[in-house]
Amino acid sequence: MQKQLSINPKQDKIQSSPEFHPLSKKPTIDLDKIIESEEKKDDEPEYRQINRVDIESFELDEGTKVINGELRLYEKIGYGGFCKVYKALVTYIDEDDGEIVNKEMAVKNFNKHTLHKTYTRFDKNGQIENASQLDKIYEEIDVWERLEHEKLCRIFCLYEDDDQMYLVMQYCEHGTILNYQEDKQNPNNKNFVRNKKVHELAREQVDLKYLGIYKYSEEEEIAKYLFRQVAIALQYLHNDAKVAHRDIKPENILYIYEDLVKVSDFTLAMRIESEDECVYGQEGTIYYLPPESLAYEKYKPKPMDIWAFGVSLYNYLTLKQPFFGELEEEIKNRILNEEPQYFDWFSDDLKDLLKKVLEKDPNKRLDINGVLDHIWMQNEPEEEFEEEAEA
């Protein structure tokens, strides 16, 4: 009998996975290991040491690649800018009951030879420096080690040798909240399509929460259900971890189990030493860059996350970009000078929230606490109706 487990602590939620024979040894990956750094300050969150494991062996087994006799890569599920993404299993025999345990994960595979090419970027002081994609990956891991929150996708382990890196991460089986569909008439244009499974699961959770009694439309309630979780993740990053994500977009918002949103991909994330700290340059996806980042001047990173949050929320509700253009300069011009279309079917509260997070002046834009305190985010219909019933 096989016991197939997910890597999320919600042990009552069992995920199915392909059946393979158990590998030869218990994995190096310690999913529960949390180590407090000796350098930790009282006002900083706990550090979670990510295991670094030297690659000692590769072998083919049942048509799959196995690393160190413990990590089985069995299905390619995507590509990143510099990596391939696989579904993987750690498959072993439980020492206590003798049952076969499958732990399902996602693995990013990087070829180090493609990561050494240097490029120029701005440092925190606005000075130009040379860096490589390999530097960025190690910086991403350094940030990720400082994060511990249920609404953030987790990294568990890094396997590497001189040629390859395998970054072992939490697998979110339902994928991103939005997918892309190519426009056949205009190949350069990608249309948003809702992930049907995610939308259905979110609708079920909204129905359970509100019992079919909504203040807003069903579409707005579903969007609120998803994006309130994104906002909670950002609140943790900004207020507790002192980190700016800097790449919030639908591709980096994932869904796991029946009810949980996960923010992923910390490639551009940075620690914020002080509230006055600024960044330079235009790293990120053009559609999600705020006006201040396009002015070739320094700007604060946290308001950038709020702007990208607003763009992503708009994407989910309308399946459109608020500042669409076929050419980069056209997109930039609209971000700098135009307002998005606020549709008649938007509730007044939603319009108000979108206008405040898509405020072009970062000093007037809501911060993450203001987002979560906004009436559109705060509405709890079942509480209102309970109060009316009691009266």
CATH code reported for the domain at 2-19+27-47+61-111+154-170 = 3.30.200.20
Q: Is the pLDDT higher at 101 or at 156?
A: 156
Please state which CATH number belongs to domain 178-382.
1.10.510.10
Alpha carbon distance 259, 269 (integer Å): 25
The amino acid present at 334, given as its one-letter code, is R
The one-letter amino acid at 308: A
Q: What's the pLDDT score for residue 37?
A: 30
Question: How far is Cα 56 from Cα 51, in angstroms, rounded to an integer?
Answer: 15
The band of 213, judged by pLDDT with boundaries at 50, 70 and 90, is confident
Report pLDDT digits (tens) over 332-378.
999 999 999 999 999 999 999 999 999 999 999 999 999 999 999 98
Q: What is the pLDDT of residue 324?
A: 92
The per-residue pLDDT for 24 is: 52
311 closest CA partner among 300, 298, 324, 294: 324
pLDDT at 178 over 60: yes
- pTM as predicted: 0.82
Measured CA to CA, the distance from residue 248 to residue 265 in angstroms comes to 9
The model's pLDDT over 19-58, given as tens digits with 9 standing for 90+, comes to 565 555 555 555 444 333 333 344 444 545 677 888 888 8
- Percent of the residues in the chain that have a pLDDT greater than 70, as a whole number: 77
The domain segmentation of the chain, as residue ranges, is 2-19+27-47+61-111+154-170, 178-382
DSSP assignment, residue 126?
A: S
Q: How far apart are CA 30 and CA 94, in angstroms?
A: 14
Identify whether the C-beta of residue 345 lies closer than 8 Å to the C-beta of residue 173: no
Task: Let me know: does 88 contact 121? Beta carbons within 8 Å.
Answer: no
| β-pair partners for 170 | 105
Number of residues written out for the chain? 391
Residues β-bridged to residue 2: 100
Tokens representing 361 are 């002046």
Mean pLDDT of the chain: 82
- On the question of pLDDT at 3 being above 50, the answer is no
What is the phi-psi region of residue 265: left when phi exceeds 0, alpha when psi lies from -120 to 50, beta otherwise?
left
